[in-house]
Chains A and B, each alone.
Chain A
Amino acid sequence: MTDATGQLTTADGKPLKAALAASLATRRRRAFLLVAPLFLFILVSFIVPIGQMLYQSFYNDTFSATAPNLVQWFDEHPAGSEIDESAYAALAADLALMKQEKTAGAAGTRINYDVSGSRSMFTSTARKADKFEPPFKEAILAEEKKWDDPIIWRAMRSASSPFTFDFYLAALDLTRDDSGSIVPVAEGQAIYKTLFWRTLSMSIEITALCLLLGFPIAHLLAVLPMRKAMLLMILVLLPFWTSLLVRTTSWMVLLQSQGVLNDLMVWMGLIGDDGRIQMMYNQTGTIVAMTHILLPFTVLPLYSVMKTIPPSYVRAARSLGATSWTAFRRVYLPQTLPGIGAGGLLVFILAMGYYITPALVGGADGQMISNMIAFHMQKSLNWSLAAALAAMLLAIVLIFFWIYDRLVGIDKMKLG
């Protein structure tokens, strides 16, 4: 139908364009409403918790909330001011407050992140806090003369503001010197950069191994007749469905120095009984076990890409005079690149954040960044540093997730 101006209209006289737009809007709203409950659920149970944790990487008020007098003193006296009687008076007042509220341990822990050994200074001095009389400087120094140390005062100054990027500095092996400028930490204390590089290099090695081992079998599965391929596919899918802990345990059994592989090699005479190889609790063990665990994640995408490559292309190349190597390199390999990209990126992303396997078989030099985050969460209780490390790991992983989305597309992800 058309109205007077010649516009198309619906039966009840509305312009067709508007009616279609309205109907599209309704359908869009309906589609969104279907997704909304899950989206909200993920937001509340997953995204918000992670956001809250990341917030801790630059917000830590354990010291600033427990030491209001010192915070005020630091506000009034810029960096470099002499630590005079008024500062010690503020310290004495805060220690008394900490004793009363039983927060000396928490405040001391916060300063202990920067100056090790300072936690006990807080707890022991706070215990005597209500006995201090002016002049406070002498009284406090008589109790514990380490309060004299400018390092403690610098640490308290930096902790007096709840917002700080010092945890990111620490996560990058950087620190502040006396004048407050950023410098690298002492040689022996730099651990995190090495750890990031190790995580990265181990992930690359694991990804390369997975592709190297996954490529031949994916190819075999793709060219075999359906029935045989399905049987062999079970050998790929069974590890995929088996518990991670079971697979890690199996590797511990195989790799132990009194384990099956070493026994086998001794029996075959490859090594002497006293020359058993240490294959576990080191980097080798982590790489072998993780390659095994992540291998199905490369085989499956490679297989689904290879399945779509017509065998006639390689045959055509051969008939045109290409050697089998050239036909493989120039014709077959380029067509498998989407599979290599998808499988490789997925394994790399998963490997970067691996925790369980390195924790169980990693030993000292097979630990990854995740294990350090867990260490700071559970043992050293420096949650802000854990959060800063987590934020950096998350940033790396999300960059690769973004690349994965651009190259492969997340909606192309498949399981089994």
Chain B
Amino acid sequence: MALPTYASPLEKAWHYSYLVICGLIFLFLIAPIVIVIPLSFNAEPYFTFTEKMLTLDPEGYSMRWYDSLLTFGMQNPESERGASFWSDFWGNATWMQVTKNSIIIGFFATILSTALGTIAALGLTRPEMPYRKQITAVLISPMIVPIIISATGMFFFYSWMKLPMPSFEGGFHIEWTRLAGSYLGIILAHAALGIPFVIITVTATLSGFDQSLVRAAASLGANPRTAFFKVVMPLIMPGVVSGALFAFVTSFDEVVAVLFIADHTQQTIPRQMWNGIREQISPAILAVATILVLISILLLTTVELLRRRSERLRGVSPQ
């Protein structure tokens, strides 16, 4: 944005102060996220920069908080870093267990919400869809309804509802299990919370989709199934994947439903962070935060690349 040559000194002054203001707002946006990264390497149990850190003295920095993350909850944290250490880590370390839970729950919730959401988005974008607005409003509502209300409602319903689920304890059999305190309960809850994001991203992709491509495929002899998998699917794939990533992040970052529905076996990363922040906040939380920031950078990059790919694909199709 260049200033025109005829700009008055006052306008020039305003222009530069405007840029400074914008810079400060960007700083406000990004500083809190960046600040945790160096602080997580603090050698002291403080949440601020020590003098040694500021003078870039290597002694001011350490990996001790990452180390404490690694060994927290292990049976023999002091043992040598051999095979037995790592199997102890895999089986007992608290952060390992919550990471496994987060990934399992996030994975299945994402599959469920993406599959159902994509199919629904295909229906919602058809021009002949009846009651489109009302139905969309209902499908978007998990994003709008305050999370405490959703979680409370799910707590009552899932404590009451029982479903037959396979059990492997004492030989394989089917057992009537309560949804609350089960993996399935949290997966269903997280799938419901992730669906609005899938609907929004996939309908946005489909709104730019040229329906004549489907008719062209049909005229060339493709049945609806072939047309869908060979023509529609590849074109909307970037939108579907970003929707899935949104759904995964929603589940990966969700704490309130887990607080209400899960029992101690289904604790997730944010749930464990919540404990850490509420009880006694130590810089180990900053180490977790740093790892999560790196993950979000990775996700953001993926989504941006997908969006560009989607735009390129849509650019190819006639508008």
Contacts and interface: CB of A to CB of B under 8 A. Distances in A.
Interface of A: 24, 27-28, 30-35, 37-39, 41-43, 45-54, 56, 213, 216-217, 220, 223-224, 232, 234-239, 241-254, 256, 258-260, 263, 292, 295-296, 324, 349, 352-356, 360, 370, 373-374, 377, 383, 386-387, 390, 393-394, 397-398, 401, 405, 410-411, 413-416
9 contacts: A41-B195, A49-B153, A235-B30, A249-B277, A250-B35, A253-B36, A254-B32, A258-B48, A405-B133
A24 B126 CA distance: 12
Interface stretch (B83-91, B186-194, B215-223): B186-194
Contacts of B281: 249, 252
Interface string B89-122: 0000000000000000000000000001101101
For chain B, the bracket of interface size reads 35 or more
Contacts, number: 273
A228 to B, nearest CB: 9
Contact of B137 (A43, A217, A405): A405
Contacts of A405: 133, 137
A405 B144 CA distance: 12
Contact of A50 (B29, B153, B278, B296): B153
B263 interface: no
Interface string B17-32: 0110110011011111
B33 A35 contact: no
A39 B120 contact: yes
A413 B140 contact: yes
A38 B292 contact: no
B153 A239 contact: no
Secondary structure of the B contact surface, majority rule: helix
B240 interface: no
Contacts of B253: 243-245
B266 interface: no
B244 interface: no
Contacts of A390: 146, 148-149, 152
Contacts of A37: 116, 119-120
Interface string B285-319: 11011001100110110011001000000000000
With most chain B CB atoms within 10 A of its CB, the pick from A242, A387, A394 is: A242
A410 to B, nearest CB: 5
With most chain A CB atoms within 10 A of its CB, the pick from B18, B25, B124, B142 is: B25
Contacts of B197: 415
B241 interface: no
With most chain A CB atoms within 10 A of its CB, the pick from B11, B19, B277 is: B277
